Amino acid sequence: MTVPGLNPGAVASYQAYNEDNVVRNQRGYIEVLPQLYGVQVIEQPGALPYIRVTADTSTVWAAVKKYFENNGIRLKTQEPAIGLMETDWLENLSDLPRTGFSGLLNSIISLTHDSGTRDRYRIRFARESDNTTSVTLVYSQAEEKAVRDRQGKEAQGYRWQTSDNDNPEMQLEMTRRVALFVSAELRRQQQIAQNPATGGGDITSARATLTTAGGQTALAISGSYAQAWRILGIGLDKASFALEKQDYNSGTYQVQYQPQSAEGQDKQGFWSRLWGGKKKADKANAPRYRIRLADQGNQSIAVVQTLDGKPVPENEAKALLETVQSAL
């Protein structure tokens, strides 16, 4: 895997993405290793680099998760209760030429050729204080090895083997990229709090109101479609709906309710709104929903559907959208 860069095209909801993820000096040039907002990269000889963020764990978790999602990297493991994320194994293409004729040739060969190496990152979160969180990325690599006969000549097959690869450069580069993204997210949130008019939309419940659309409970979000898409995504995340898939162009989020807190702390959550004091459903078997957002000009309308696009029961739609609205 080539360490992913900051790719604003991956998620079109960030209108100011390109501007916010770089720091420019007074002459307009991009600064080298700029001072990060609310973020420090701690580099000590003989120790893994890590990120120290002046923010609570939930905010940092959401920002790091968004970084990987924006770059198309699937998170195989997400366990907020123990502060652990893990990416899927990704093919390492860093040794292949990217430009010129060689780059063109390799882009064709890569359709049928496997590089034989895979990269993975484990991300650990730790609470240093109520408003300080540390993030450590641990890099590992697997290589495809030939299984040979007893004479060691003929290859009889292949198997993946985790290597002892120690790549501090790869680890530091990814750590810095994540830190830069988290810094941009914190800066953006601060700008929105100070001046909603320039921050891409006021992310408050006042901008998201319950309504009806086609006889179905819906959530109306004022502002442009891009603003509504971002606000809806933030609301779903804050309301503990795990994002499984998203498609900006079609306006769909596929989610499953996965409360991060203990059962007793879900007093105002989705289950309590849906069933009140009754026994809650098994978290592992929680239903999945498709949230559909439609552009209506000066506002957008979000409705709740089943995965095949059919309306869900009215009580479920209302409970879900009320939970999202209250989280904003």
Read off the DSSP letter of residue 100: H
**What integer pLDDT is reported at residue 149 of this predicted model?**
62
Of the candidate ranges 39-43, 97-101, 269-273, the one whose mean pLDDT is the lowest: 97-101
Q: Which residues contact residue 87 at a Cβ distance below 8 angstroms, ignoring those fewer than 6 apart? A: 68, 73, 74, 75, 76, 120, 121, 122, 123
**What integer pLDDT is reported at residue 81 of this predicted model?**
87
Same CATH fold assignment for domains 8-193 and 201-327: no
Euclidean distance between the first and final Cα of the chain, in Å?
36
d(CA 225, CA 18) in angstroms, rounded, equals: 18
Handedness of CA 257, 259, 260, 263 (dihedral sign): negative
Strands 288-295 and 299-305: antiparallel
Q: What's the rounded mean pLDDT across residues 5-17? A: 35
Number of residues in the chain: 328
**What integer pLDDT is reported at residue 74 of this predicted model?**
87
User: Which has more pLDDT, 284 or 66?
Assistant: 66
Backbone φ, ψ for residue 113 (5° rounding)? -105, 135
Q: What's the rounded mean pLDDT across residues 132-159? A: 75
d(CA 243, CA 236) in angstroms, rounded, equals: 8
d(CA 222, CA 285) in angstroms, rounded, equals: 34
**What integer pLDDT is reported at residue 321 of this predicted model?**
93
Q: Residue 16: pLDDT band by 50, 70, 90 thresholds?
A: very low
Q: What's the rounded mean pLDDT across residues 63-88? A: 89
d(CA 2, CA 318) in angstroms, rounded, equals: 43
pLDDT digits (tens, 9 = 90+) for 152-199: 666 666 666 666 556 788 889 999 999 999 999 998 888 776 665 544
Q: How many Å separate Cα 188 from the centre of its chain? A: 16
Contact 23, 197 (CB under 8 A): no
Domain 201-327's class? alpha beta
pLDDT of residue 208 exceeding 90: no
Token pair recorded at residue 42: 């701690």
User: Which has more pLDDT, 103 or 287?
Assistant: 287
Q: List the chain domain ranges.
A: 8-193, 201-327
**What integer pLDDT is reported at residue 44 of this predicted model?**
84
d(CA 241, CA 230) in angstroms, rounded, equals: 15
Contact 48, 193 (CB under 8 A): no
Q: Residue 220: pLDDT band by 50, 70, 90 thresholds?
A: very high
d(CA 253, CA 243) in angstroms, rounded, equals: 7
d(CA 100, CA 120) in angstroms, rounded, equals: 29
Identify the top-confidence range among 25-29, 42-46, 158-162, 183-187. 183-187
Identify the top-confidence range among 2-11, 30-39, 67-76, 311-320. 311-320
What is the CATH number that goes with domain 8-193?
Answer: 3.30.530.50
Handedness of CA 193, 299, 8, 52 (dihedral sign): positive
What global pTM score does this model have? 0.50
**Mean pLDDT, the chain, integer:** 74
Of the candidate ranges 54-68, 207-221, 249-263, the one whose mean pLDDT is the lowest: 249-263
Of the candidate ranges 30-44, 68-82, 143-157, the one whose mean pLDDT is the lowest: 143-157
Q: What's the rounded mean pLDDT across residues 215-223? A: 90
